[in-house]
Chains A and B, each alone.
Chain A
């Protein structure tokens, strides 16, 4: 079995394998590009399965329906068909939109989420870069998405989009802080911002039950923080009960009302990448990253991010959406206080133990 973590980052290994090292900086650049392309393809593959197919199948099974099954085994051919369908639609650009912003918004949303994956350790040494400030980088890059939402909402020249954009900002501000604070409590445990260190810190055995070693996953060590993080993450990716920036029955589709064709696909894609990035952060911070028995790390990692995806769909089927004022109240008066308490408590406990 390949080692879970590798001291050498993925680009270096690729350049080693292909012998790109001799070309100096261009070689490094090429190796970096190849590594990024590999990771991006993996993420986009997951998204492709999730968006047109898995999401429908999951929703269908919650609602006692059959759902897509016409093309290919289990209807998997729908993925191809749907992509072609979406891409071949007419791109409608309404009058009086704020052009550069309107065009850039979907790109910003999709790419910000994708960039976050650069520092995620996916197991089997698949990690494009492992900077010391990995966690800070992920949170920072993921929150650029809010900018994309504001751009989309404001540039669309549509009142529903405008409301959706405003709601998105209010929501992301209110929930990013508890998210980061809860993440920091993990950092206090692990003693590092570096993603590989955080994963490594969770490898130790916490206790043994009937001969099975239970690893020191932070979800087990601090389930309270895990719960907080899960909820804040739901708000961060904008899913029920916090899907108010889109809220189709209230403000049509929020910031993405005016987008069609390729732009819409980018939004759609961006949302799903965001859900998976959320899943990746949760997996890394709380579920031991790619760790798991028997199967290779990358498989475990995939399973974990899909579980988080499943949770978002599950909530959609059964949890009502809260109102905007309630959402803000929960964010500032509830989540923030709880996450601060969690942080202080963690710091105190770690301080006492250490």
Chain B
């Protein structure tokens, strides 16, 4: 019986202290960590169309179309299919594809999540945080070359 009463006292303590841990979301937008991986942002000025992001993507979310001169024509990314692993950002040698902190996106159908180049360029920064500025400068440093002959695939 003591145990039951103790349990009841525990919950009553929580009821009376008046603290809440949930937030009123739209009014009170959560703080997102600088490393958070949200929707991608693409920069055509930086992109060199090396297609490494397309290669590394685990589930073929990125689709790049180039002409026969290897000039970029299309850069499509299905943000509804993406698993937000950030490998594309890690392999990109020029920071052309970045994951913003922006996690707020909606659409009526899944097709609308297939973003093209223009849509990807217009993805806003979340709370104006530029991930390049907020993350540490040594990102990407982990991609080693290994010992011996360098393999450029």
Q: Taking the nearest CB of chain B, how far is it from the CB of A165, in angstroms? A: 28
In contact, B4 and A319 (Cβ under 8 angstroms): yes
**A290-332 contacts to B (CB < 8 Å):** 314-315, 317-319
B104: Cβ under 8 A from any A Cβ: no
CB-CB under 8 A from B21, the residues of chain A are 64-65
- A60 to B15: give the CA distance in the assembly, Å: 8
- A314 to B14: give the CA distance in the assembly, Å: 11
Closest B-chain residue to A311, C-beta based?
A: B8
In contact, B19 and A64 (Cβ under 8 angstroms): yes
Contact with A along B1-15 (1 / 0, CB 8 A): 000100110111011
In contact, A66 and B24 (Cβ under 8 angstroms): yes
Q: Taking the nearest CB of chain A, how far is it from the CB of B106, in angstroms? A: 19
B153: Cβ under 8 A from any A Cβ: no
Q: Taking the nearest CB of chain A, how far is it from the CB of B21, in angstroms? A: 5
- A69 to B24: give the CA distance in the assembly, Å: 9
In contact, A62 and B11 (Cβ under 8 angstroms): yes
B20: Cβ under 8 A from any A Cβ: yes
**A54-100 contacts to B (CB < 8 Å):** 58, 60-66, 69
Q: Taking the nearest CB of chain A, how far is it from the CB of B52, in angstroms? A: 45
- A208 to B24: give the CA distance in the assembly, Å: 50
CB-CB under 8 A from A317, the residues of chain B are 8, 11
Residues of chain A whose beta carbon lies under 8 Å from any beta carbon of chain B: 58, 60-66, 69, 314-315, 317-319
Partner of B11, one of A65, A66, A69, A314: A314
- A58 to B12: give the CA distance in the assembly, Å: 10
Q: Taking the nearest CB of chain A, how far is it from the CB of B75, in angstroms? A: 40
- A58 to B22: give the CA distance in the assembly, Å: 15
- A60 to B19: give the CA distance in the assembly, Å: 11
The 6 A-B pairs at the shortest CB distance, nearest first, are namely A318-B7, A318-B11, A61-B15, A317-B11, A318-B8, A62-B11
Partner of B14, one of A62, A66, A315, A319: A62
- A61 to B19: give the CA distance in the assembly, Å: 8
Instruction: Tally chain B residues at the interface, Cβ within 8 Å.
Output: 15
CB-CB under 8 A from A314, the residues of chain B are 8, 11-12
Closest B-chain residue to A58, C-beta based?
A: B15
In contact, B7 and A319 (Cβ under 8 angstroms): yes
In contact, A63 and B14 (Cβ under 8 angstroms): yes
Q: Taking the nearest CB of chain B, how far is it from the CB of A308, in angstroms? A: 15
CB-CB under 8 A from B7, the residues of chain A are 318-319
CB-CB under 8 A from B24, the residues of chain A are 66, 69
Residues of chain B whose beta carbon lies under 8 Å from any beta carbon of chain A: 4, 7-8, 10-12, 14-15, 18-24
- A58 to B15: give the CA distance in the assembly, Å: 8
In contact, B22 and A318 (Cβ under 8 angstroms): no
- A319 to B5: give the CA distance in the assembly, Å: 9
- A99 to B12: give the CA distance in the assembly, Å: 44
Q: Taking the nearest CB of chain A, how far is it from the CB of B19, in angstroms? A: 6
Closest A-chain residue to B24, C-beta based?
A: A66
CB-CB under 8 A from A66, the residues of chain B are 20, 22-24
- A100 to B99: give the CA distance in the assembly, Å: 60
CB-CB under 8 A from B22, the residues of chain A are 64-66
Q: Taking the nearest CB of chain B, how far is it from the CB of A41, in angstroms? A: 30
Q: A66-B22, A314-B8, A317-B11 are in contact. List 7 more A-B contacts (CB 8 A).
A: A58-B15, A60-B20, A64-B19, A64-B21, A66-B20, A317-B8, A318-B10
CB-CB under 8 A from B8, the residues of chain A are 314-315, 317-319
Closest A-chain residue to B5, C-beta based?
A: A318
- 6 A-B pairs with C-beta separation under 8 A: A62-B11, A62-B12, A62-B14, A63-B11, A317-B11, A318-B7
- A69 to B10: give the CA distance in the assembly, Å: 25
Residue in B11, B12, B19, B20 with the greatest tally of chain A CB atoms within 10 Å? B11
Closest B-chain residue to A69, C-beta based?
A: B24
In contact, A64 and B12 (Cβ under 8 angstroms): no
In contact, B20 and A65 (Cβ under 8 angstroms): yes
CB-CB under 8 A from A319, the residues of chain B are 4, 7-8
Closest A-chain residue to B14, C-beta based?
A: A64
In contact, A64 and B10 (Cβ under 8 angstroms): no
Closest B-chain residue to A317, C-beta based?
A: B11
CB-CB under 8 A from A61, the residues of chain B are 14-15, 18
Q: Taking the nearest CB of chain A, how far is it from the CB of B67, in angstroms? A: 53
- A184 to B7: give the CA distance in the assembly, Å: 32
Q: Taking the nearest CB of chain A, how far is it from the CB of B107, in angstroms? A: 24
CB-CB under 8 A from B18, the residues of chain A are 61
Q: Taking the nearest CB of chain B, how far is it from the CB of A65, in angstroms? A: 5
- A319 to B15: give the CA distance in the assembly, Å: 15
